[in-house]
Amino acid sequence: MIDFLPWQQGPARRWLATRERFAHAWLIHGRPGCGQMEFALAGAASLLCESPRDGLACGACQACRWVAAGNHPDLRRIRPDAQAVREGAMDVAEDAKKQPSREIRIEQIRSLLPWFNTATHRGGWRVALLYPAESLNTIAANALLKILEEPPEHTVFLLSAQAPDRLLPTLVSRCRRLPLTVPPAPESLAWLDAQGVKDAADRLAAAGGAPLLALEQAREGRPVMPDWLELFLDQAGGGGDGAALADALQAAEPADWVDGFQRLWLDLSLGTHGLPPRYHPGQATRIAAIAKRLDPAALARAADWLREQRRLARHALNPKLLADHAARTLLQSVRPR
């Protein structure tokens, strides 16, 4: 059955308790990997359930069975084709030359219009689930905005997003916001353990406390410590001209390693204050050793450089040049003089 994640049940009950005077559009948002899409889907199931238990979907009624099977007539999922393929809900046509779309297109919004005019099952809700809302292109976002300006009856729109600031502001202003926070670590750890994730504590920390991100990284078989991070910590004390690190960086996504170094930088900066690392608890000893002899000014300069790269990383013109430069700059900034 489709259920809320364990840490979402409390917030979900409070949210659904207001269903009698429910807003017609909700923006469910939070950091990546905190389960906003799962929350929206379980919310849809609960709104459609015919005999909710304590406000949440029962999992047993006809409506719940339809939602679980993906064929409830009063539920529509609007997401990019690429997302539908990832969910296994859509096949990639074998002769398709182009990649499945990463955008929510206007046709998908338009295809909702006739649906608004059909009667709902037993006069209940109709729920449109849109995710991730960031993938609405401008034309589609404007079409949705038009619909929300004169919302159809008995219809609830649930939009899930990671970065509301990347959405059309007028669209955001038409939605009630429902922020989801990073769950408390013990709940996330219990859940990750139940999913069979090894090194759950280190993974959760590396994912910034976002349990679904930690699970995804574990399932993808990503090492808790990427090889470039391992190399960096090894070579931070001296030795090596950075060539090996540059090679490792070049093999990774710039956006990933820039992000990774920013986290390490935060840990190093905590270390200079004698505080334990937040993202790499398993590396506390090595990080403390580096932090002890750090020049705070050099650390700050490198942090600025990383911030700048974060802006540019997605459009790196010359990944090799960037990797070489990063390896030299970052190693120099932490090495003893």
27's CB contacts (< 8 A; 6+ apart) are 133, 159, 160, 161, 164, 167, 172, 175, 176, 177, 178
CB closer to Zn ion out of 68 and 270:
68
The least distance separating Zn ion from the CB of residue 127, rounded to whole angstroms, comes to 14
Q: Which stretch binds Zn ion (CB under 5 A): 5-13, 54-62, 153-161, 267-275?
A: 54-62
CB closer to Zn ion out of 48 and 225:
48
Q: Which stretch binds Zn ion (CB under 5 A): 57-65, 118-126, 176-184, 221-229?
A: 57-65
3-state secondary structure at position 266: helix
Q: Which stretch binds Zn ion (CB under 5 A): 53-61, 110-118, 205-213, 322-330?
A: 53-61
Rounded CA separation 73/180 (Å): 28
CB closer to Zn ion out of 48 and 175:
48
Q: Which stretch binds Zn ion (CB under 5 A): 52-60, 94-102, 108-116, 172-180?
A: 52-60
CB closer to Zn ion out of 30 and 43:
43
The least distance separating Zn ion from the CB of residue 46, rounded to whole angstroms, comes to 8
According to CB under 5 A, which residues from 63 to 122 bind Zn ion? 64
CB closer to Zn ion out of 61 and 255:
61
CB closer to Zn ion out of 3 and 253:
3
Q: Which stretch binds Zn ion (CB under 5 A): 48-56, 196-204, 259-267, 298-306?
A: 48-56
Q: Which of 49, 175, 200, 213 binds Zn ion (CB under 5 A)?
A: 49
Number of residues that bind Zn ion (CB under 5 A): 4
The least distance separating Zn ion from the CB of residue 44, rounded to whole angstroms, comes to 12
Sheet with strand 75-78: strands edge to edge: 75-78, 126-130, 155-161, 25-29, 176-179
149's CB contacts (< 8 A; 6+ apart) are 174
The least distance separating Zn ion from the CB of residue 221, rounded to whole angstroms, comes to 36
CB closer to Zn ion out of 64 and 207:
64
Q: What is the DSSP letter of 74?
A: T
Amino acid (one-letter) located at 251? A
Point out which residues pair with 28 in neighbouring strands. 160, 178
- Is the Cβ–Cβ distance between 148 and 174 less than 8 Å? yes
Count of all residues that appear for the chain in the document: 337
3-state helix, strand, coil in the chain (%, to 5): 55, 10, 35
The least distance separating Zn ion from the CB of residue 331, rounded to whole angstroms, comes to 58
Rounded CA separation 199/183 (Å): 18
CB closer to Zn ion out of 72 and 105:
72
* Contact status: 61 vs Zn ion (CB under 5 A): yes
Angstrom distances, CA of residue 110 to CA of 61, 139, 141, 156, 224? 31, 11, 11, 16, 44
* Contact status: 44 vs Zn ion (CB under 5 A): no
Q: Helices (DSSP H) in 236-276: which residue ranges?
A: 243-250, 254-272
Compute the C-alpha angle 157/78/172, nearest 5°. Answer: 45
The least distance separating Zn ion from the CB of residue 47, rounded to whole angstroms, comes to 10
CB closer to Zn ion out of 43 and 254:
43
Q: Which stretch binds Zn ion (CB under 5 A): 59-67, 143-151, 194-202, 283-291?
A: 59-67
Amino acid (one-letter) located at 260? G
Q: Which of 6, 24, 32, 58 binds Zn ion (CB under 5 A)?
A: 58
Footprint on this chain of Zn ion (rule: CB under 5 A): 49, 58, 61, 64
